[in-house]
Every structure is written in C-alpha cells, then in structure tokens.
Amino acid sequence: MKNTTLQNITETLEINYMPYAMSVIVSRAIPEIDGFKPAHRKLLYMMYKMGLLNGNRIKSADVVGQTMRLNPHGDSAIYETLVRLTRGNNALLHPFIDSKGNFGKQYSSDMAYAASRYTEVKLAPICKELFDNIDKNTIDFVDNYNGSMKEPLLFPVSFPNVLVTSNQGIAVGMASNICSFNLKEVCNATINFIKNKDVDLLKFIEAPDFSTGGEIIYDEDQMKKIYETGRGSFKIRAKYKFDKKNSCIEIFEIPYTTTIEAIINKIVMLVKTNKIRQINDIRDETDLNGLKIAIDIKKNCDYKLLMDKLFQITPLCDTFNCNFNILIEGKPQTLGIKQILDQWYKFRFECVRRRIKFDMENYRNKLHLLDGLAKILLDIDKTIKIIRQTPEEKLVLKNLMDAFNIDKIQAEYICEIKLRNLNREYLLNKTNEHKNLKDILEELQKTLNDKNKIDKIICDELANVSKKYSQPRRSQIVFEEPKTQTIVEDYPVKLILTKHNYFKKILPSTIKNNSVQNLKDDDKITCQIDTTNNTDILFFTDQQNVYKLKTFEIECCKANNLGQYLKNFLSMPENENIIFMNATKNYDGYLIFAYENGKVAKIELNVYKTKLNRKKLINAYNKNFKLVGIDFTIQDKDYVLIRDDDKLIILNSNLISPKLTKTTNGVQAFNMKSKSHINNFFPSEYFISQNKEYYRIKKIPSAGKKILSDDISSNNFAKQLSILI
C-alpha cells in the first residue's frame, strides 16, 4: 500500500491557487486605468522602442520576436494580441497599430488572419498620445521578467482610453467587459467633469459606440444604471436595407458581440425547422467593400415584419452585458463612468505634475550652468589666461572653480564652450536665455502650486486629442424599440391529443399519404381539431390549470411519429394530465363544463385571453366539484347529460347564462338524489335516438327522463365520454 501525505486544503489553496489567481487578475486579464492589459502595454511599448511611431512598417514577426523580451509567452499569443490592436481587424474604434495585410475581422470567426511573416505593422498616429512625455518621469518603470531592460507600469495616456477602447477579460473568480465610447464624447465629458464633478454625463456621452456600428436601442434607465454602477446591459442590433428589385435584405452592420457565421447558422437552422418560411436563400457576400449578409425572401413577404422576427430570435439583435471591472493601484474595482473618470483624472493629474517637476529640474540644471557662465562673463580674459597658464589639464577645472567660485559642473560646462563661441552675440544670447529660464521656472512653479492651472493643461490636451482624432459615431442610437410583431405563415393543420398526453401537429398533405396514426400501446386519440398555424392552443388539465401555446411554436410531424410528450414540453408535474384541448384565433365562443353534482357552467372563452404571452393560467375552472366533461362551442347547441346511467336530459346551452368568472359554480341542470351523480356528458350529435325530443328540457333544473331501452342498446356511453375526456 502506497504512503499518502494528507494536505490541509486551506494551505494548498493559499500556497498554490491564490498566487495563480492573483497573477491572472493583476497581470493578465483585467485592464488598468490607462485602458490596457499588460500584454497590450508590452507590445506597444516595444514597438515604440523600435522606432515604429514615425518609421516605416516592418514585418509583424519582427515585432513579435522583440516583444518576447518583455512578454515571455509564445509567439502565437503575442501575435493574437497584436492582431486585435490593428486597423485591419476592425475590433477597436481607434486602432493603435497601422497594418498592412490580412488581419482577419472581428465580426467573423472564419476569416483567419495571415501568419506574422506575411503582415506588416507600425504604430498608428494616435499612439503619440500614449507615449508623449513618457521619458519625463511621468510614470514608473520596472524591470522586465529577467532584469535586462525597463518597461512602464502604465502609459501616461492624455485621454481616458479605458472608456474609448473596448476590453474584455476573464480572470479567476471575476471578469471584465468594457464597451467602447466615442472619443469626442468622452473627451468632452471629461473636460466638463473636471470643471464640475456633479455634471450629468448622459448629456455628453450619449451611449456606447462600437467599431462594427449597428443600432443601440436606448433605454435611459439602463444607461443611467450602467453609468452609475458599471453594471447593466443594453441591446444592439444590425442595420439593413431592402433591395426591392431583387427581394433581398442586405445586412451591412451587425452587433459587436456576434459574428457573421453565428447569424447565418441560426437563420439556416430556423429555416430547416420550418420556424421561418419566408427565406429562400442566405449568403455571406462580405468583400473588400465591407460586411454584407444577403437574405433572399419570397415575393410579397413583408420584409419589416420578417426583420422584426429575426431581431427577436437571432443574434441580429444581441445584448452587451457591461462589467466595468478595472485595476486601480493593483486592486480590481467595478466602477461607474464618473468614478472611472475621477480615477483617470487623479492618474493624469499626477502624470502632469511629475512632468512639470521633471521640466523644472532640467531647467534648474541648465540655469545652474548659465549662472556659472554669467560669472566668467565678468572677466572673460581672465578665464582664457587661467586655462592657458595651467600646466596640467586636470588642474584646469580646479583653477576655474577657485578663481570664479563655481562648482565642478559649471566649470566643465565652461571648458566645453568652443573658442569660436566666445563672441558678443553668443554671450548675449546666453544672457537672454538665463533671464528667460528664470521666467519659465517661475511660471512652472506657479503652475505646480495651482491646481486650476494643471486642470487647464489636462483639458487643453483633451480638446487637442478630440480635434485631431475624433470621428463621427458609428453606432446609431434608437430611442425606442420598435413594436415587434410575430410573423406567422398561416396554413391548415390538424391537432391531435392522446390519452397519454402525446400531441401531434400534422399537415393535411401528410395525412393523405398516411392516414394511420402511430400511437403507443394502450394509448388512444381523445381530441382532434382542424385549425390553422396561426392560432393559440389551450390545454386544460385535471389540476384546474390551462397551458397555452402558439401553434406555430410546435414543429409539424408525420402520422408515423408519436409526437410531442406534453408533460415534458410544458414542464408539467408527472401527476397532472391534460383532459381537453382547444384551438382559437380570436377567443370567440364558450366553454361548457359539466360537473358530477349536476351543475353546468358556461364560460366565455375570452376569459382565457391574456395581454401578456403567459404560458400557464391557474384556477381554469371550479375545483370544488368533480368534472365530468368539457366542450367548446361557438354557438349554443344541445348536450346530453346522463345521471346514474338511467336518467337522461338533452339540454341546450342557451338555458345557461354565460359567465366571466372561470371558477363559477355554474347552474343546477339536473335534479340530484342522495348519492346520485352525473356520469356522462357529451354533445347530442353523438347520441343515437329516434326520440330526442322526448328527452329535451325547456327549463332547468330537471328531473330527467328514464332512458328508453332502444336508446340504451343503440349507444355506447363510455365511448362517447372518451371523446371529451
């Protein structure tokens, strides 16, 4: 037997799992306040160090290879990161990489990008806003994974890129899903937010904006929730136009969250299952001119109604679920837009302060050198004499320092001045530069001490970014969702219900080919209805419930199929059984309920009509009495009621007043004796008799008439009962 060492689960999680989880969260999946994940940042920074901001494009393979100095992952993972950042892939509103070659498309899963050896890249102009003043100590640098070079912790971005660039990531135990917003709107909103922290951002940022366009269905309450909490969802749908001449719907923009293939596959599946019958063909006609899905439809089809249905049941209309989870100082936080702008403002404010301090330090150093130069200008001939008469070179600096009371740095600067520059013009320029530097330093110090001046710098830079790089919205805003109508092709069908609750919807043409219905052993048909595909079906159960279905929601089957098992299809309890079925289009007519105690209820079918598309209604009829039978009728007609198998009446339903209450007790139709009960109820057309008028009653309740012997032998009452229940 092998020896096993027991491990404490909490210690194992702490030692092995938690470091991995934190590594994924902090170093891989969640973007930071500059809008980038570490993989993005390493790639772009290496391209910057390679001089690709102003240079010509180079092979992507070269960029991938160099990036591995910062990102020790496989080349394929780095190249996938590069692809998403390119203009060719169309994943971002403002791509950071200017590309040449095939980089696939964000809106297609089948359009694969070319290998890195075939494509070329360089940084896009907007990257100037990422790297501007990065060498002025605006952000912190750290060692790369092997300590061979430095890399930035963040980019000093001059605009809230975290809101402009769409970002998705799945970490361990958390995820992030940030939609993109229009650059001009974001810059404008940020400027106004800096000026007034209580600003209503909805006035400036209308809604998200996506590189793939589409139409955003605007819901103000949902947008407020997203803007305030960073969580929520909104719908985005495709744009299309109709070619009337060719009866063709052309889709040219789709939701950011889906692909061409997902849309086409879903529509093809719907056509194959006969849930959509108006489409003749669908094609992917995407080319160099852009995305295009062509849908050929049947003549005289209402394309608007068809598109409304496709928006309902296909990815042509999809939902974007927002989760603005961002790393703030190494800690993941879910923030609303105003909170994100506040964090970005604090970050950018510190970047500008550090830049000003860096400039001031450089100006001070230069001023210090000019201070030394100013001292020797008092006696330039003495300076020359000291240098000429000093016997050893190493003593020149010391002699100058002693003679003019300057330090070593100043002395070295003076010694480096060329002899040709010791003229009046040069010295006068340096004197003016000395004065200007003092003015600049004084102004920088004032700016550093004045928050409003730093705010103005940030706002001016935002306005400049907006002016240089802004573009019109791509995603159109629709302020109200169109009223969707169900488009249903209407054609004759036969509905069949069996005792064991199997259901069939059959085309008449199928019945002609095979009239024998396949049923399970000991099963039998209890109800058959000839109707159309555009009706509602009501299934009444022995538990006083009604289940409702649209006829078109159920697939047609053949006579040799068993059909749908309704208990599973309707999610019914196993102890509940369907006892009656009715199909209706306008809910005209009445339901007749007969109870064992001799009462009969007449309920208007319209009572079961609902404004909402409810699938189940409870308390469909009275539960206090045992039900004997149900029937549906448009107009009043005759019914047979049998008591104790010996008394019978023929009752016309016009003797019973219709009710609008489903659970009504009904009226007493048959006088009942002690321990007597009604055991049969069915329409009179199923009753065979030469003396029907003998049984007819003209008022209720009635004691009934004894069943004639000829009528007993002519009728099978049990069989007639099975027609209804």
Per-residue tokens: 457 = 């710098």
Angle at 639 (CA atoms; ends 539, 621), nearest 5 degrees: 35
Residue type for position 6: L
The strand pair at 476-478 and 215-217 is best described as parallel
Biggest CA-to-CA distance, the chain = 155
Task: Return the H-helix or E-strand segment holding 89.
Answer: none
Residue type for position 329: E
Can you state the angle between helices 408-415 and 396-404, rounded to 10 degrees?
110
Q: Per residue in 51-70, is it b (16+ CB within 10 Å) or e — as a string?
A: ebbeeebbebbebbebbebb
CB 30 within 8 A of CB 174: yes
Q: What is the DSSP letter of 659?
A: B
- Encode 351-381 in three state secondary structure: HHHHHHHHHHHHHHHHHHHHHHHHHHHCCHH
Can you state the angle between helices 451-469 and 183-195, rounded to 10 degrees?
170
Q: Can 469 be counted among the known catalytic residues? A: no
Choose, from 20, 118, 426, 694, the residue flagged as catalytic.
Answer: 118
Neighbours of 2 (CB within 10 A): 3
| DSSP state letters, 448-498 | HH-HHHHHHHHHHHHHHHHHHH----SSEEESSPPPP-------EEEEEEE
CB 523 within 8 A of CB 502: yes
| DSSP state letters, 580-641 | EEEEESS--SEEEEEETTSEEEEEEGGGG--SS--SEES--S-SSS-EEEEEEESS--EEEE
Q: What percent of the chain is helix, strand and coil (3-state, nearest 5)?
A: 35, 25, 40
Sheet of strand 638-643, all strands in order from the earlier edge strand to the far edge: 678-683, 638-643, 647-652, 705-706
At 318, phi and psi to the nearest 5?
Answer: -130, 170
Q: Per residue in 561-580, is it b (16+ CB within 10 Å) or e — as a string?
A: ebbbebbeebebeeebbbbb
Sheet of strand 599-604, all strands in order from the earlier edge strand to the far edge: 627-633, 590-595, 599-604, 667-668
Pairwise CA distance, residues 119 & 113, whole Å: 9
Pairwise CA distance, residues 408 & 419, whole Å: 20
What does each C-alpha distance from 397 to 375, 377, 387, 400, 417 come to in angstroms? 15, 17, 9, 5, 13
Pairwise CA distance, residues 604 & 302, whole Å: 34
What does each C-alpha distance from 300 to 247, 306, 556 come to in angstroms? 9, 12, 24
Q: What is the DSSP letter of 647?
A: E
Residue 393 makes CB contacts below 8 A (sequence gap 6+) with none
Catalytic residues: 118
